[in-house]
Chains A and B, each alone.
Chain A
Amino acid sequence: MNVQIILFIVLATVAAISSVVMITRKNAVISAVFLVLNFFALAGLYLLLNAQFIAVVQVIVYAGAIMVLFLFVLMLLNTETEHKLFVDKRAIKFFAILISFFVFVQVAYLIFHGSPSRTLTPDEAASVKAGTIQAIGQQLYTNYIIPFEVAGFLLLAATVGALVLAKKKFE
């Protein structure tokens, strides 16, 4: 057992457990905190995958910006906790969990059936190179320049849209 495997087991366990905890907490703020934890674990996994740039962005954008936004809204609205999580419509909730589990089993089956590890021969050096900000930046500013510009425009539109929607009154 080398360090990588230990790290993977730890991070994967944290990610899995935190996601389950997140959807079962009645208090939305606690859910949010566990989601942040999940994001951090994911960032660690990205590092294990040599995706340094994405790992950093994950922490800054997701765990930093987006989740802070969520927490702001939560505190702003100050909503009540969900007391009756499993009380009413129990059948539907059971059905929902069953279907989710069923889908998971199916996807897992497909993954093992396809077993991509057998067909791929990973190249550590190429993988490290692919994860650098230089490689990603080169792609972004050459082949993906138009999607990049469109994404910028989308963010602008989202900013304006959020402002308009969240304004006190439509005038």
Chain B
Amino acid sequence: MSSIPMEYYLILSAFMFCVGVAGVLIRRNAIVVFMCIELMLNSANLTLVTFSSYLGNSIGQVFVFFVMTVAAAEAAVGLAVIIAIFRNKKTVNIDEINIFKW
């Protein structure tokens, strides 16, 4: 650990985050968009673990634990929502689910 500068981990995390963002913005399959969000969450986790480890403080990892809990809950509900939408609209294409307007 100590031989690797901390910035490397952080750069990797930033890279994964931006890839996740790009995925959310360009993909049209709702499930894949969801997976990209998981990717972004994981990149944030990586930052937390990095700092926790370099600081020698376990609180960051406790936080990661909570993030995982929320991610699990979010995945369960989110996928259920996608199933419900699919049942109604017969699609998971986000472009066709344009219900965010009045």
Chain A interface (Cβ < 8 Å from any Cβ of B):
2, 4-5, 8, 12, 15-16, 19-20, 22-23, 28, 31-32, 35, 38-39, 42, 45-46, 48-51, 53-54, 57-58, 61-62, 65-66, 69-70, 73-74, 76-77, 79, 82, 85, 93, 96-97, 99-101, 103-104, 107-108, 111-112, 115-117, 120, 122-127, 129-132, 135-136, 139-140, 144, 147, 151, 154-155, 157-159, 161-166
From A8, A79, A100, contact of B29 by CB (8 A): A79
Interface SS of chain B: helix
From B17, B39, B61, B77, contact of A51 by CB (8 A): B61
Within 8 A of A (CB), among B1-40: 1-12, 14-23, 25-29, 31-32, 34-36, 38-39
Cross-chain pairs A/B with CB under 8 angstroms, 14 sampled: A16-B16, A28-B32, A51-B53, A70-B31, A70-B34, A74-B31, A77-B86, A104-B18, A111-B10, A111-B14, A116-B10, A116-B51, A130-B61, A164-B80
The answer to whether A23 and B22 touch (CB under 8 A), given A69-B79, A108-B14, is yes
Kindly state the separation between the CA atoms of A31 and B69 in the bound complex, as whole angstroms.
23
Kindly state the separation between the CA atoms of A62 and B81 in the bound complex, as whole angstroms.
20
From A22, A77, A151, contact of B92 by CB (8 A): A77
Contact with A along B51-80 (1 / 0, CB 8 A): 111111111011011101111111111011
From B7, B23, B58, B86, contact of A23 by CB (8 A): B23
